[in-house]
Amino acid sequence: MIIAISILFFLSCLVALFEEELANIKWNIYIGIGVLLVLFAAIRPIGMDNDSENYELYFVRYDHPLLVITVEYSFRVISKWFYLWFHDVHSIFLLYAALGLSLKFIAFKRLTALPLLAVAVYIGNYYILHEFTQIRVGVASGLLLLAIKPLSEKNYKKTFVLFLLAIVFHYSSIILLPLMLLSNKELTRKNKIIWASLIPLGYIFYFLNINITSLPIPYISEKLDAYQGLKDQGYIDEVNVFNLVFFVRIIIFFYILYMYDLIREHNLYLSLMIKLMALSLFSFTAFSSLPVLAFRISELYGITEIILFTNIFYMIRPKPLAKIIVITISITLFCISVFYNNIIQIM
Protein backbone atom coordinates (compact mmCIF):
# COMPACT_ATOMS: atom_id res chain seq x y z
CA MET A 1 0.00 0.00 0.00
CA ILE A 2 2.74 2.47 0.90
CA ILE A 3 4.32 1.81 -2.49
CA ALA A 4 1.07 2.69 -4.25
CA ILE A 5 0.69 5.86 -2.16
CA SER A 6 4.29 6.85 -2.85
CA ILE A 7 3.88 6.34 -6.60
CA LEU A 8 0.71 8.44 -6.66
CA PHE A 9 2.42 11.10 -4.56
CA PHE A 10 5.40 11.40 -6.89
CA LEU A 11 3.10 11.42 -9.93
CA SER A 12 1.13 14.23 -8.27
CA CYS A 13 4.37 16.16 -7.77
CA LEU A 14 5.25 15.60 -11.42
CA VAL A 15 1.94 16.86 -12.84
CA ALA A 16 2.07 19.82 -10.41
CA LEU A 17 5.28 20.93 -12.12
CA PHE A 18 3.40 21.29 -15.42
CA GLU A 19 0.03 22.36 -14.02
CA GLU A 20 -0.20 25.57 -16.01
CA GLU A 21 0.44 23.73 -19.29
CA LEU A 22 -2.22 21.06 -18.72
CA ALA A 23 -5.17 23.35 -19.53
CA ASN A 24 -8.57 21.70 -18.97
CA ILE A 25 -7.14 18.19 -18.73
CA LYS A 26 -5.78 19.10 -15.30
CA TRP A 27 -9.28 18.80 -13.82
CA ASN A 28 -9.55 15.21 -15.04
CA ILE A 29 -6.19 14.50 -13.42
CA TYR A 30 -7.30 16.35 -10.30
CA ILE A 31 -10.45 14.24 -9.92
CA GLY A 32 -8.56 11.05 -10.76
CA ILE A 33 -5.99 11.67 -8.03
CA GLY A 34 -8.81 12.38 -5.57
CA VAL A 35 -10.61 9.13 -6.40
CA LEU A 36 -7.43 7.08 -6.00
CA LEU A 37 -6.67 8.74 -2.66
CA VAL A 38 -10.16 7.85 -1.43
CA LEU A 39 -9.74 4.23 -2.54
CA PHE A 40 -6.30 3.91 -0.93
CA ALA A 41 -7.67 5.17 2.39
CA ALA A 42 -10.74 2.94 2.13
CA ILE A 43 -9.05 -0.40 1.37
CA ARG A 44 -6.02 -0.09 3.64
CA PRO A 45 -5.28 -3.17 5.76
CA ILE A 46 -6.28 -3.04 9.42
CA GLY A 47 -3.19 -2.27 11.49
CA MET A 48 -1.40 -0.39 8.72
CA ASP A 49 -1.88 2.89 10.60
CA ASN A 50 -1.93 3.68 14.29
CA ASP A 51 -5.70 3.94 14.74
CA SER A 52 -7.40 1.52 12.33
CA GLU A 53 -7.63 -1.21 14.97
CA ASN A 54 -9.32 1.23 17.34
CA TYR A 55 -11.77 2.25 14.62
CA GLU A 56 -12.60 -1.39 14.01
CA LEU A 57 -13.27 -1.79 17.74
CA TYR A 58 -15.52 1.29 17.75
CA PHE A 59 -17.28 -0.02 14.66
CA VAL A 60 -18.02 -3.47 16.07
CA ARG A 61 -18.85 -2.28 19.60
CA TYR A 62 -20.67 0.90 18.65
CA ASP A 63 -23.19 0.41 21.47
CA HIS A 64 -20.66 -0.09 24.28
CA PRO A 65 -21.39 2.29 27.23
CA LEU A 66 -17.80 3.58 27.37
CA LEU A 67 -17.97 4.71 23.75
CA VAL A 68 -20.89 6.98 24.57
CA ILE A 69 -18.41 9.18 26.44
CA THR A 70 -15.34 8.86 24.25
CA VAL A 71 -16.67 8.60 20.68
CA GLU A 72 -18.81 11.10 18.79
CA TYR A 73 -22.51 10.33 18.43
CA SER A 74 -22.23 10.72 14.66
CA PHE A 75 -19.55 8.02 14.43
CA ARG A 76 -21.59 5.63 16.59
CA VAL A 77 -24.76 6.14 14.56
CA ILE A 78 -22.94 5.64 11.26
CA SER A 79 -21.21 2.56 12.70
CA LYS A 80 -24.55 1.13 13.80
CA TRP A 81 -26.07 1.31 10.32
CA PHE A 82 -22.94 0.39 8.41
CA TYR A 83 -22.35 -2.60 10.68
CA LEU A 84 -25.87 -3.83 9.95
CA TRP A 85 -25.48 -3.26 6.21
CA PHE A 86 -21.86 -4.16 5.48
CA HIS A 87 -20.29 -5.82 8.56
CA ASP A 88 -16.94 -4.34 7.48
CA VAL A 89 -15.12 -1.35 8.97
CA HIS A 90 -13.74 -0.52 5.53
CA SER A 91 -17.19 0.89 4.72
CA ILE A 92 -16.56 3.51 7.43
CA PHE A 93 -13.10 4.20 6.00
CA LEU A 94 -14.66 4.73 2.56
CA LEU A 95 -17.29 7.16 3.82
CA TYR A 96 -14.92 9.28 5.89
CA ALA A 97 -12.25 9.33 3.18
CA ALA A 98 -14.84 10.35 0.57
CA LEU A 99 -16.11 13.15 2.81
CA GLY A 100 -12.70 14.39 3.96
CA LEU A 101 -11.12 14.36 0.52
CA SER A 102 -14.13 15.81 -1.29
CA LEU A 103 -14.29 18.74 1.12
CA LYS A 104 -10.57 19.42 0.80
CA PHE A 105 -10.51 19.12 -2.99
CA ILE A 106 -13.46 21.52 -3.30
CA ALA A 107 -11.66 23.93 -0.96
CA PHE A 108 -8.37 23.70 -2.88
CA LYS A 109 -10.18 24.65 -6.07
CA ARG A 110 -11.70 27.69 -4.37
CA LEU A 111 -8.66 28.88 -2.44
CA THR A 112 -5.79 28.59 -4.92
CA ALA A 113 -5.07 28.88 -8.63
CA LEU A 114 -2.66 25.94 -8.21
CA PRO A 115 -4.87 23.08 -6.98
CA LEU A 116 -2.54 20.32 -8.23
CA LEU A 117 0.37 21.86 -6.34
CA ALA A 118 -1.88 22.06 -3.29
CA VAL A 119 -2.66 18.34 -3.68
CA ALA A 120 1.06 17.53 -3.74
CA VAL A 121 1.57 19.54 -0.54
CA TYR A 122 -1.48 17.89 1.04
CA ILE A 123 -0.37 14.32 0.28
CA GLY A 124 3.11 15.05 1.58
CA ASN A 125 1.96 16.64 4.81
CA TYR A 126 -1.60 15.69 5.78
CA TYR A 127 -3.07 12.85 3.70
CA ILE A 128 -1.88 9.90 5.80
CA LEU A 129 -2.45 11.76 9.07
CA HIS A 130 -6.02 12.84 8.32
CA GLU A 131 -7.41 10.16 6.03
CA PHE A 132 -5.73 7.17 7.70
CA THR A 133 -5.07 7.97 11.36
CA GLN A 134 -7.46 10.79 12.27
CA ILE A 135 -10.39 10.19 9.92
CA ARG A 136 -12.88 12.20 11.99
CA VAL A 137 -10.48 15.16 12.17
CA GLY A 138 -9.96 14.67 8.43
CA VAL A 139 -13.58 15.63 7.80
CA ALA A 140 -13.41 18.49 10.31
CA SER A 141 -10.28 19.94 8.69
CA GLY A 142 -11.98 19.86 5.30
CA LEU A 143 -14.89 21.83 6.75
CA LEU A 144 -12.43 24.36 8.20
CA LEU A 145 -10.88 24.88 4.76
CA LEU A 146 -14.35 25.42 3.29
CA ALA A 147 -15.12 27.93 6.05
CA ILE A 148 -12.19 30.19 5.18
CA LYS A 149 -14.01 31.93 2.32
CA PRO A 150 -17.29 32.67 4.16
CA LEU A 151 -15.42 33.69 7.33
CA SER A 152 -13.28 36.09 5.29
CA GLU A 153 -16.45 37.53 3.74
CA LYS A 154 -18.08 37.89 7.19
CA ASN A 155 -20.73 35.32 6.36
CA TYR A 156 -20.91 34.20 9.97
CA LYS A 157 -24.06 32.13 9.56
CA LYS A 158 -22.49 29.85 6.94
CA THR A 159 -19.23 29.74 8.90
CA PHE A 160 -21.04 28.72 12.08
CA VAL A 161 -22.92 25.95 10.25
CA LEU A 162 -19.64 24.57 8.86
CA PHE A 163 -18.00 24.71 12.30
CA LEU A 164 -21.04 23.05 13.85
CA LEU A 165 -20.80 20.22 11.32
CA ALA A 166 -17.11 19.87 12.18
CA ILE A 167 -18.02 19.49 15.86
CA VAL A 168 -20.53 16.79 14.93
CA PHE A 169 -17.70 14.81 13.33
CA HIS A 170 -15.15 15.49 16.06
CA TYR A 171 -15.81 17.11 19.42
CA SER A 172 -12.37 18.73 19.52
CA SER A 173 -13.54 20.94 16.65
CA ILE A 174 -15.13 23.15 19.29
CA ILE A 175 -11.77 24.94 19.14
CA LEU A 176 -12.91 26.30 15.76
CA LEU A 177 -15.60 28.53 17.27
CA PRO A 178 -13.18 31.21 18.58
CA LEU A 179 -11.95 31.62 15.00
CA MET A 180 -15.17 33.49 14.25
CA LEU A 181 -13.57 36.43 16.06
CA LEU A 182 -10.89 36.64 13.37
CA SER A 183 -11.11 38.83 10.29
CA ASN A 184 -9.46 38.92 6.88
CA LYS A 185 -8.57 42.61 7.10
CA GLU A 186 -5.24 43.52 5.57
CA LEU A 187 -2.36 43.24 7.99
CA THR A 188 -0.67 46.48 8.95
CA ARG A 189 2.93 46.55 10.13
CA LYS A 190 1.66 46.56 13.71
CA ASN A 191 -0.62 43.58 13.02
CA LYS A 192 2.27 41.62 11.55
CA ILE A 193 4.36 42.23 14.66
CA ILE A 194 1.50 41.15 16.93
CA TRP A 195 0.87 37.89 15.08
CA ALA A 196 4.58 37.18 14.71
CA SER A 197 4.99 37.62 18.47
CA LEU A 198 2.80 34.56 19.08
CA ILE A 199 5.71 32.30 18.16
CA PRO A 200 8.09 33.51 20.92
CA LEU A 201 5.08 33.80 23.26
CA GLY A 202 4.39 30.10 22.76
CA TYR A 203 7.93 29.29 23.83
CA ILE A 204 7.47 31.49 26.92
CA PHE A 205 4.43 29.36 27.84
CA TYR A 206 6.58 26.28 27.30
CA PHE A 207 9.47 27.43 29.51
CA LEU A 208 7.10 28.65 32.25
CA ASN A 209 5.38 25.24 32.12
CA ILE A 210 1.91 26.77 32.17
CA ASN A 211 -0.63 23.94 32.46
CA ILE A 212 -4.16 24.63 31.18
CA THR A 213 -5.65 21.40 32.58
CA SER A 214 -6.49 23.38 35.71
CA LEU A 215 -9.00 25.51 33.80
CA PRO A 216 -12.55 24.78 35.13
CA ILE A 217 -14.20 23.91 31.82
CA PRO A 218 -16.86 21.15 32.17
CA TYR A 219 -16.22 17.97 30.13
CA ILE A 220 -13.16 19.54 28.48
CA SER A 221 -11.22 19.74 31.74
CA GLU A 222 -12.13 16.11 32.49
CA LYS A 223 -10.84 15.01 29.09
CA LEU A 224 -7.67 17.02 29.60
CA ASP A 225 -7.14 15.45 33.03
CA ALA A 226 -7.54 12.00 31.47
CA TYR A 227 -4.97 12.80 28.79
CA GLN A 228 -2.65 14.21 31.44
CA GLY A 229 -2.94 10.94 33.34
CA LEU A 230 -2.04 8.95 30.22
CA LYS A 231 0.94 11.22 29.65
CA ASP A 232 2.14 10.75 33.24
CA GLN A 233 1.90 6.98 32.77
CA GLY A 234 4.01 7.16 29.61
CA TYR A 235 1.23 6.30 27.13
CA ILE A 236 1.52 9.62 25.30
CA ASP A 237 4.75 10.89 23.78
CA GLU A 238 6.25 14.21 24.80
CA VAL A 239 6.14 17.15 22.39
CA ASN A 240 9.52 18.07 20.95
CA VAL A 241 9.19 21.82 20.43
CA PHE A 242 12.70 21.99 19.00
CA ASN A 243 12.26 19.49 16.16
CA LEU A 244 13.54 20.41 12.71
CA VAL A 245 10.15 20.21 10.95
CA PHE A 246 8.65 22.69 13.41
CA PHE A 247 11.55 25.10 12.87
CA VAL A 248 11.04 24.84 9.10
CA ARG A 249 7.37 25.72 9.58
CA ILE A 250 8.38 28.75 11.65
CA ILE A 251 10.86 29.89 8.99
CA ILE A 252 8.25 29.53 6.24
CA PHE A 253 5.72 31.44 8.37
CA PHE A 254 8.06 34.40 8.84
CA TYR A 255 9.03 34.36 5.17
CA ILE A 256 5.38 34.42 4.10
CA LEU A 257 4.73 37.24 6.57
CA TYR A 258 7.70 39.15 5.15
CA MET A 259 6.44 38.65 1.58
CA TYR A 260 2.85 39.44 2.56
CA ASP A 261 2.34 42.33 0.14
CA LEU A 262 3.48 40.26 -2.83
CA ILE A 263 1.41 37.17 -1.98
CA ARG A 264 -1.72 39.19 -1.16
CA GLU A 265 -2.26 39.78 -4.88
CA HIS A 266 -2.65 36.04 -5.43
CA ASN A 267 -4.34 34.94 -2.20
CA LEU A 268 -7.46 36.85 -1.21
CA TYR A 269 -7.62 35.09 2.14
CA LEU A 270 -3.96 35.48 3.09
CA SER A 271 -4.53 37.54 6.25
CA LEU A 272 -6.85 34.95 7.78
CA MET A 273 -4.60 32.06 6.79
CA ILE A 274 -1.55 33.73 8.35
CA LYS A 275 -3.48 34.17 11.60
CA LEU A 276 -4.45 30.49 11.58
CA MET A 277 -0.88 29.41 10.97
CA ALA A 278 0.33 31.68 13.78
CA LEU A 279 -2.20 30.11 16.14
CA SER A 280 -1.14 26.66 14.96
CA LEU A 281 2.52 27.34 15.76
CA PHE A 282 1.66 29.00 19.07
CA SER A 283 -0.54 26.14 20.27
CA PHE A 284 2.14 23.54 19.54
CA THR A 285 4.54 25.10 22.04
CA ALA A 286 2.13 26.77 24.47
CA PHE A 287 0.14 23.57 25.08
CA SER A 288 3.08 21.18 24.85
CA SER A 289 2.55 20.11 28.46
CA LEU A 290 -0.49 18.24 27.11
CA PRO A 291 0.67 16.64 23.83
CA VAL A 292 -2.78 15.51 22.64
CA LEU A 293 -4.12 19.06 22.82
CA ALA A 294 -0.96 20.57 21.33
CA PHE A 295 -1.03 18.24 18.33
CA ARG A 296 -4.81 18.47 17.85
CA ILE A 297 -5.00 22.28 17.76
CA SER A 298 -1.77 22.69 15.82
CA GLU A 299 -2.73 20.15 13.16
CA LEU A 300 -6.31 21.37 12.78
CA TYR A 301 -5.46 25.07 12.50
CA GLY A 302 -2.38 24.16 10.48
CA ILE A 303 -4.43 22.71 7.61
CA THR A 304 -4.19 26.16 6.01
CA GLU A 305 -0.47 25.52 5.52
CA ILE A 306 -1.43 23.53 2.43
CA ILE A 307 -2.48 26.73 0.70
CA LEU A 308 0.22 28.90 2.27
CA PHE A 309 3.00 26.54 1.18
CA THR A 310 1.74 26.72 -2.41
CA ASN A 311 2.06 30.52 -2.14
CA ILE A 312 5.84 30.08 -2.08
CA PHE A 313 5.37 29.77 -5.85
CA TYR A 314 4.68 33.53 -6.00
CA MET A 315 7.70 34.46 -3.87
CA ILE A 316 10.54 32.95 -5.89
CA ARG A 317 11.74 33.31 -9.47
CA PRO A 318 12.08 31.60 -11.85
CA LYS A 319 8.71 29.86 -11.48
CA PRO A 320 10.00 26.31 -12.17
CA LEU A 321 12.46 26.73 -9.29
CA ALA A 322 9.64 27.91 -7.03
CA LYS A 323 7.62 24.78 -7.77
CA ILE A 324 10.65 22.56 -7.25
CA ILE A 325 11.18 24.13 -3.82
CA VAL A 326 7.53 23.60 -2.82
CA ILE A 327 7.61 19.99 -4.03
CA THR A 328 10.93 19.37 -2.27
CA ILE A 329 9.36 20.55 0.99
CA SER A 330 6.40 18.21 0.40
CA ILE A 331 8.62 15.22 -0.36
CA THR A 332 10.70 15.91 2.74
CA LEU A 333 7.61 16.08 4.95
CA PHE A 334 6.26 12.89 3.39
CA CYS A 335 9.49 10.99 4.02
CA ILE A 336 9.69 12.23 7.61
CA SER A 337 6.10 11.14 8.29
CA VAL A 338 6.50 7.70 6.76
CA PHE A 339 10.08 6.72 7.51
CA TYR A 340 10.92 8.68 10.67
CA ASN A 341 7.69 9.29 12.58
CA ASN A 342 6.35 5.84 11.59
CA ILE A 343 2.87 7.24 11.08
CA ILE A 344 2.03 4.04 9.18
CA GLN A 345 3.51 0.56 9.02
CA ILE A 346 5.72 0.23 5.95
CA MET A 347 5.93 -3.54 6.00
148 and 260 together in one domain:
no
Q: Residue 210 and residue 223: Cα distance in Å, rounded?
A: 18
150 and 206 together in one domain:
no
Residue 168 lies in a domain: yes
Report the pLDDT averaged over residues 15-44.
Answer: 93
Report yes or no: 144 and 325 within 8 Å, Cβ to Cβ. Answer: no
Residue 7 lies in a domain: yes
**H or E element in which residue 231 lies:** helix 220-232
**Structural domain containing residue 229:** 182-315
Which residue, among 295, 232, 300, 267, has the nearest Cα to 50 in the 3D structure? 295
Confidence of residue 339 (pLDDT cuts 50, 70, 90): confident
* Residue 235 pLDDT > 90: no
Considering only 27-31, 132-136, 287-291, 298-302, which range has the smallest mean pLDDT?
287-291
Long-range contacts (CB closer than 8 Å, 24 or more residues apart) made by 78-87: 83/59
Which residue, among 188, 119, 147, has the nearest Cα to 273 in the 3D structure? 147
Confidence of residue 233 (pLDDT cuts 50, 70, 90): very low
12 and 81 together in one domain:
yes
166 and 27 together in one domain:
yes
Percent with pLDDT over 90 in the chain = 67
Q: What is the pLDDT of residue 117?
A: 97
206 and 151 together in one domain:
no
Considering only 107-111, 122-126, 245-249, 287-291, which range has the smallest mean pLDDT?
287-291
137 and 51 together in one domain:
yes
Count CB neighbours of 35 within 10 A: 13
B/e letters for 283-296, b = 16+ CB within 10 Å, e = fewer, are: bbbbbbbbbbbbbb
Instruction: Give 49 or 242, the one with higher predicted confidence.
Output: 242
Domain count of the chain? 2
pTM above 0.85, yes or no: yes
135 and 88 together in one domain:
yes
Residue 323 lies in a domain: no
Report the chain's mean pLDDT, rounded to a whole number: 89
Residue 337 lies in a domain: no
102 and 250 together in one domain:
no
Residue 343 lies in a domain: no
Which residue, among 123, 87, 86, 132, has the nearest Cα to 105 in the 3D structure? 123
Q: What is the pLDDT of residue 283?
A: 94
Q: Residue 178 and residue 294: Cα distance in Å, rounded?
A: 16
